[in-house]
């Protein structure tokens, strides 16, 4: 019984995360300002990372967790670089 509930909840969360990835891609493409595009990309990598974690929970493997850590690290660095570029106009001083 509990395995069935867990399977349903994980599938529902995957569907919700895919919808949020699609909406964040739309925000990144249609954003009127550069800040909106950065926010869309930031949300997209976060939802993709969570989608990998939920998929890893569903499949019972650890490889998705390692990929999620890499995506989280690269996404943070990319967001910091884009924010610095938007603030100062250059990334490396």
pTM for this model (two decimals): 0.84
Compute the C-alpha angle 87/80/66, nearest 5°.
170
User: For the chain, what are the domain ranges?
Assistant: 14-88
d(Cα 61, Cα 53) in Å, to the nearest integer? Answer: 10
pLDDT tens, the chain, 93 aa long: 677 899 999 999 999 999 999 999 999 999 899 889 999 999 999 999 999 999 999 999 889 999 999 999 999 999 888 888 888 877 676
């Amino acid at each position: 019984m509990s395995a069935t509930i867990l399977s349903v909840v994980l599938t529902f969360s995957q569907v919700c995360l895919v919808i949020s990835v699609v909406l964040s891609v739309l925000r990144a493409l249609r954003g009127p300002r550069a800040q909106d595009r950065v926010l869309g990309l930031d949300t997209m990598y976060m939802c993709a990372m969570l989608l990998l974690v939920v998929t890893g929970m569903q499949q019972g493997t650890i490889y998705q967790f390692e990929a999620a850590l890499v995506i989280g690290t690269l996404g943070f660095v990319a967001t910091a670089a884009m924010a610095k570029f938007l603030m100062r106009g250059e990334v490396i001083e």
